[in-house]
Structure 1
Amino acid sequence: MRLTEELEGDLEALRRLETHVRRETEAVRLDPGNLSALYALSAHLHRLYGCIEDAAYRVSVHINGEIPVGGGSHKPGVFTSSRPQAGNS
């Protein structure tokens, strides 16, 4: 899959999350004591951050040719690179 195709999915997720964040921000503005709205806003902001982080990771992998080793999350992780590293022959 090409980078631009992968990023399209990330952008769509960001658009959906933006809708939730705007709605929940308005709910908190109208009723700052509404803990349910605050929790929902917090959860969606964390998801938004994660989505941005994932998109940045995809671009970094595309640029650097890094591939995560060990199958889990990319954070924190050990990476191998298809590009030679400075100082390594």
Structure 2
Amino acid sequence: EFGDVRARPRVALNEMEVNQAGQIVAVKDSSAAFLKYLDKVGAYIGARIKILDKVEFDGSMEILVDQKKTLFMSKDVAANILAIQS
């Protein structure tokens, strides 16, 4: 059904392409340390994100959160965050 969030596949941020946008919906790693890190950098469940850049060398990413804050994220961190593309 169009507009049904559940119908859209969840993808790890590291699998998204530059200029793709979406919304963070879940994390694979729910350890306290990882959740604390996400809270610190401002990448929360429900945040709207856009991939600004991917570094070919190490797979790290530059991500725009809520159209105002830019985060730099390692490939490992990005692989543990799931989003639905918008």
Answer 1 or 2: higher relative contact order, Cα 8 Å, separation at least 6: 2
Larger radius of gyration: 1
TM-score relative to the length of structure 1: 0.25
